[in-house]
Amino acid sequence: MWKLILRRTLITIPQIILLSVLVFILAQAMPGDALTGLIDPNIDPATIEAMRERLGLNNPWYVQYIDWIKGVLQGDFGQSFRFKMPVSELIGERMINTLWLSLATLILTYLIAIPLGIISGRFNDTWLDRAITGYTYIGFAAPLFIFALVMLFVFGFQLGWFPTSGSVTPGTEPGTFAYFLSKLNHLLLPALSMALITTVSTVQYLRSEIIDTKQKDFIVTARAKGNSETRVYNRHILRNSLLPIAAFFGYEITGLIGGTIFIENIFGYPGMGELFLSSISLRDYSVMTALVLLFGLAAIIGALLSDIILSLVDPRIRIK
Amino acid sequence: MNDVLLNIKNLKTSFRIKDDYYAAVDDVSLTVRKNEVLAIVGESGSGKSAFAFSIMGLHTRAKIEGDIDYKGINLVKASTSQMRKLRGKDMGMIFQDALSALNPLMVVGDQIDEAIFLHNPKSSKSLRKKQVINLLNQVGIPRPEKTYHQYPHELSGGMRQRIVIAMAISNQPELLIADEPTTALDVTIQSQILDLIKELKDTINAGIILITHDLGVVAEMADRVAVMYAGQIVEIADVYTLMENPQHPYTRSLLNSIPTLNDVKEELHVIQGVVPSLQKLPRTGCRFAARIPWIEESSHEASPELHEISPGHFVRCTCYKDFYFPEQAEEERNYVAN
């Protein structure tokens, strides 16, 4: 068991190294560098060249990479050109907001997906199932950014139930209960909008798993033993169907990254996704590379989590 | 007849295909006695398993008509809770493919434990564990304590089948239905499992319905044999009569298909065609007629019935009187010509 987890974790190390190289090379491949366009065009090119030399921008890429990765390992991603502050500090604030948003979305996703999937799978081909699958098709078809805009318009502006931007009411004292409530109030609508769309794949997945499992031979065995229908579902079908859903959990995290980029921009929620888009449009390279690296890291950790969860819940892939 | 355990009358199990119901088990009447092994033989698709599932009430989407009398309870009309109490307690079932018949995520001990618990919900866990260990011993598992905590995929095919058997007999059922218990096993394990079932038959005194297409298994195990074709019983007799003096063309063809070592024939006897699908099966006349086309149409009955040709020996249709194998007839002709 531990051997499997350890082995699987060790595999992520080369993945992470490769990711960092790729991110760095891509950033290098972009035209221009930190000095392009930043400096008054009247300055003598020789001075700029001297500056490049001093900053190490003329070194071969691998030397620059090693310089960069040294900093990254110490938590130093360089300076943001836009905010004139260390990238790590800038991201740190945003990361906590994004983590809360992702967590809320994940909880809501499963709160919606599990009951709907179970109902839909157990009573497949009834009107209830058709209603639920109908919803999932709409969810698949509706782009997240359109749906989120509609939600914002209806619940934020028309009904005024939720705040329309920000992550907390300005002036609230951090640490108080009111602060916590305000945070919750601000992330509820974006989290719900995202969950309602991202949950549909989990609903469909769970539904088809249940339909698949209930036709398995061991379900007949369970009935032949004298299990009641409820017990057959709770003890035999559900556990076997939830297994792939549990394994899907890690990949859900990867999906969230894409989701938060849209959602944070639409709801003006100060998280990593919002920072990412604005950094791209303002060519804030150091912030961008740091964010791409973090998103990639989250995806790798998500896959790692999936594999570990699967090995925990499925005895067939446990290694003794 | 006091020793009758199960009395099945005019059982008809139909499945819905599109808008019509088609009978997979068509008007089957049978009795199963205490402490006897009744074998049901037939090709794939002849309705054997559908018949077994009907008795256990395991069909989820089928229309079942007729009567199955078990100790005064009509199983066809019994309520779900009544059936639930009988299933696993009075009636145990052994399945064909033990790997898929076991829950892959539960240790086998817990799966047997569940079978006991469901019918003795007040028993203590430790007592049940002892019972499970006993059962594992009884079915010949070498290290029951260790096996208890193993998952199905960690066991060999023979061991898994033993687990399935242990589960089926955990509440000393009076009726045991074995649905092709040895089909998925190799020959050496097959004979071990058959020996085990025989041994258990004597210890638990159950009536056993053995469903198989292996006539070797029938000869070894059965007391009585019912031959099924296209949802109907075509011949029923005790095992000696059936093996020595088979009458119905289908039974004779089945027995003729078994290769023997001292046979000089180079080719195996093959029954022409296949069992017709539910939708294509003609519901009138002799159902086997299409597969013995060289037999005159006038030999068949218009609506074939079971005829008792000697005490306890029933044969459907009259075509058995005129039946012959074409290759044998040819051999005879050649012999006469020479």
Which residues 64-83 in chain B show a CB within 8 A of chain A? Answer: 80
* Residue of A216, A224, A235 lying closest to B87 (CB–CB): A224
CATH code for the domain in which residue B67 is found: 3.40.50.300
What kind and span of H or E run contains B51?
helix B48-56
> Would A253 be classed as within a structural domain?
yes
Amino acid making up residue B218: V
Mutate to test the interface with B, among A212, A217, A221 (most CBs of B within 10 A): A221
Q: Residue A133 — very low, low, confident or very high, per pLDDT cuts 50/70/90? A: very high
B290 and B237 in a common domain: yes
Q: Does residue A265 have a pLDDT over 70?
A: yes
A103 and A48 in a common domain: no
Mutate to test the interface with A, among B53, B97, B114 (most CBs of A within 10 A): B114
Contact A222 B103 (CB under 8 A): yes
The reply to whether B151 touches chain A by the CB within 8 Å rule is yes
Nearest to A221 by CA among B6, B144, B161: B161
pLDDT tens-digit profile of B64-90? 888 999 888 888 888 888 888 889 889
B23 and B72 in a common domain: yes
The reply to whether A215 touches chain B by the CB within 8 Å rule is no
B185 and B53 in a common domain: yes
A256 and A216 in a common domain: yes
Q: Determine the residue of chain A that is closest to B52 in CA distance.
A: A224
The total number of structural domains in chain B stands at 2
Amino acid making up residue B333: R
pLDDT tens-digit profile of A210-254? 999 988 889 999 999 988 888 898 889 988 898 888 878 888 888
- Residue A108 has a pLDDT of 92
Nearest to A253 by CA among A205, A291, A296, A298: A298
B145 and B129 in a common domain: yes
- Compute CA distances B295 → B249, B324, B338, whole Å: 10, 8, 26
B292 and B153 in a common domain: no
Mode of pairing for the β-strands spanning B224-229 and B20-33: unpaired
A268 and A148 in a common domain: yes
Tokens of B24: 């997979």
The reply to whether A223 touches chain B by the CB within 8 Å rule is yes
Q: Does residue B207 have a pLDDT over 70?
A: yes
B205 and B140 in a common domain: no
**Domain range spanning residue A288?**
91-317
The alpha-carbon radius of gyration of chain A (Å, integer) is 24
Asked whether B158 and B192 are in contact (CB, 8 A), the reply is yes
Report the percent of chain A where pLDDT is more than 90.
17
A100 and A55 in a common domain: no
The total number of structural domains in chain A stands at 2
The reply to whether A319 touches chain B by the CB within 8 Å rule is no
A305 and A181 in a common domain: yes
ipTM value: 0.84
Please tell me the distance in Å from B146's CA to the nearest CA on chain A. Answer: 15
Q: Give the A:B interface size as CB pairs under 8 Å.
A: 68
- Residue A130 has a pLDDT of 94
